[in-house]
Amino acid sequence: MSGNCHAVVVGPGLLFVVSGPSGAGKDTLVDALRNRIPRLRYSVSATTRPARAGERDGEAYFFVSREEFERRIATNAFLEYREYNGYLYGTPRDFVERTLTDGYDLIVKPEVNGALSIKSAFPDAVLIFLLPDKFSHLRGRLLERRTETIEEIARRLEIAHVEMNHIRSFDYIVINEQRRQAQAVDDLEAITRAERFRIHRWGDDSIKELEHS
Ligand code: 5GP
């Protein structure tokens, strides 16, 4: 199933999209980054996947039925959505647009196709591909977290292989090395800081002001 996307007005906030295969460490690293940068907002996605032990509705995801998810698709409520491993996942459009227009930086962590859809809707979005130092570590990490069956892990790894083909469409690669997670969080933080200073984000008026000050 293909996701939908429509052109939208981009506000002054920056949109960071952390993607990459399941098991790369998106959840942990994005949580750590949010702890470091409290003003960074996070968009909670909706999903039809059942909640895992410890996952709270409205925190990890908004857990909804397939009927409800489809109703939201019909009302154009998602900026993008995808079917992943038999379940639907979607980024809520209103929250993203409102947060950026209000001037807050925002982070989302969809799978790779969702990340590319977001880039089409928001060409200014910053796409970060997160990877372990060795692709073979993905399997170990998925096994370690004990949230999926062996069959589900095998399917996630198949999807991961396909996802790797899109790496060149991203703006940055961050390597989440074994036992060096703090380094990956530093790298993510460096990207969020550097992106602020990109010349095209300044706007012609601010540059003119600097030129004539
Ligand atoms: P999980 O079931 O492990 O929580 O998520 C499965 C995959 O769906 C992960 O790669 C995750 O990043 C992705 N995902 C989570 N939320 C969204 C979303 O809103 N849109 C898309 N396209 N993917 C999502």
Q: Residue 153 domain-assigned?
A: yes
Which residue reads 């396909």 in tokens?
162
Print the domain residue range for 47.
11-197
Residue 178 binned pLDDT confidence (cut-offs 50, 70, 90): confident
Q: Is residue 171 part of a domain?
A: yes
Mean pLDDT of 119-141: 94
Residues in the chain: 213
In a domain, 45, yes or no: yes
Residue 113 falls inside a structural domain? yes
- As a whole number, the mean pLDDT across the chain is 92
User: Which residue ranges have their beta carbon within 6 Å of ligand 1?
Assistant: 22, 26, 45, 49, 80, 82, 84, 89-91, 109-111, 114
Give the Å distances, CA to CA, from 109 to 19, 46, 125, 151: 5, 12, 12, 23
Question: 15: pLDDT confidence band, cut at 50, 70 and 90?
Answer: very high
| Furthest C-alpha separation in the chain | 64
Q: Whose CA is nearest to atom 8 of ligand 1?
A: 111
Cβ atoms 174, 17 nearer than 8 A? no
Q: What is the CATH number of the domain that holds 27?
A: 3.40.50.300
What is the best residue among 84, 164, 170 to mutate for testing ligand 1's pocket, by most ligand atoms within 8 Å of CB?
84
Q: How many domains is the chain built from?
A: 1
For ligand 1, the distance from its centroid to the CA atom of residue 183, given in whole angstroms, is 24
Q: Is residue 205 part of a domain?
A: no
What ligand 1 atom has the least distance to the C-alpha of 78?
Answer: 19
